[in-house]
Amino acid sequence: MPVWVLAAVAGAAIVALAEPGSRPGLLSLALAGAVVLTLCIQLVTGDRKGFVRRVTASAVGAFAVLLVASLAALAVP
């Protein structure tokens, strides 16, 4: 869940502050950062049971959040 919040903050900042031509690349970097952060958080917990499920849920959730930001970026000139 914290990864989703950070992805939402990053997506909103990118949509609000970045130039339209650079948004796709920045949103891709935000997704990559979310995946790396997900892996770091899950490795720190040290719980092996359900690792793949937790990583998948976190990464797919971050993807969905950034997808919404990407769609919002289409409406912002």
Which residues form the domain of 46? 2-75
pTM of this prediction? 0.89
Q: Can you spell out the DSSP letters for 16-47?
A: HHS-GGGHHHHHHHHHHHHHHHHHHHHHHH--
Q: Residues with Cβ < 8 Å from 68, sequence gap 6 or more?
A: 11
Asked if 45 contacts 10 with a C-beta cutoff of 8 angstroms, the reply is: no
- Number of domains making up the chain: 1
The pLDDT of residue 46 is 83
pLDDT at 1: 78
pLDDT along the chain (77 residues), means of 10: 93 94 95 96 89 94 96 87
